[in-house]
Amino acid sequence: MKPGTLKTVALATSISLLVSACENMSPGENAAVFGTTAGVLAGGIARAAGASTGESIAIGAATGAVVAFTAYVISKHQATERQRRIAEERARVYYGRLAPEKKVALRKKHRYIAVDTERSEQAPSKAKKSVMIWDTQNESIVGNNVYDVQSTPSAGSTAKIDTYNAEYVGTGSL
């Protein structure tokens, strides 16, 4: 077997074992594992691409922090008509108040925003907020899912919610 193929198979096997071992971990433990792994990989790639040791450490640390900062979704369920209406209204008000150049910048930076909606009776007691995702390109709510999150991102920060990288805008108040 060629050394390159052997390394690829070993890496794929290691990753699959790591991922399967993480299924029972808390969101915080997952964030630590995946943030650290992403940071180390990004730093290694930067170093291999010619960055200095200091630069590669900075790149790795920044990447790890971004990957580790995930909104911990503890519940996902279908929105009620009221939740959808509230989220849609808040997102439209927020987006409507942005200056044209800020809209362009937001669309380039993030396609999606996460906006608060009201909590439902289905929300777990540990949930701090219930959010929905709004698409800045289509100017509409994405799907009909409400995500109950355990930790509230700060307004303006990027959060990974389900498969979306979204800028968290809270209630949409500027």
Please tell me whether residues 32 and 89 are part of one structural domain: no
Number of domain units in the chain: 2
- Predicted confidence at residue 11, as pLDDT, reads 62
Please tell me whether residues 89 and 148 are part of one structural domain: yes
- Predicted confidence at residue 78, as pLDDT, reads 93
Looking at 25, 52, 68, the residue that finishes a domain is 68
Looking at 68, 100, 119, the residue that finishes a domain is 68
- Nearest Cα neighbor of 19 from 39, 34, 38, 36 is 34
CA distances from 14 to 9, 30, 44, 116, 157 (A): 9, 16, 18, 38, 32
Q: Which domain holds residue 61?
A: 3-68
Please tell me whether residues 79 and 149 are part of one structural domain: yes
- Predicted confidence at residue 26, as pLDDT, reads 47
Please tell me whether residues 62 and 103 are part of one structural domain: no
Tokens, residue 34: 């995946």
- Predicted confidence at residue 38, as pLDDT, reads 65
- Predicted confidence at residue 24, as pLDDT, reads 46
Residues of the chain with pLDDT under 50: 22-24, 26-27
- Predicted confidence at residue 174, as pLDDT, reads 59
Please tell me whether residues 63 and 82 are part of one structural domain: no
Question: For 80, which DSSP code?
Answer: P
pTM for this one? 0.61
Please tell me whether residues 162 and 79 are part of one structural domain: yes
Please tell me whether residues 55 and 137 are part of one structural domain: no
Please tell me whether residues 35 and 106 are part of one structural domain: no
- Predicted confidence at residue 101, as pLDDT, reads 92
Please tell me whether residues 57 and 14 are part of one structural domain: yes
Please tell me whether residues 125 and 160 are part of one structural domain: yes
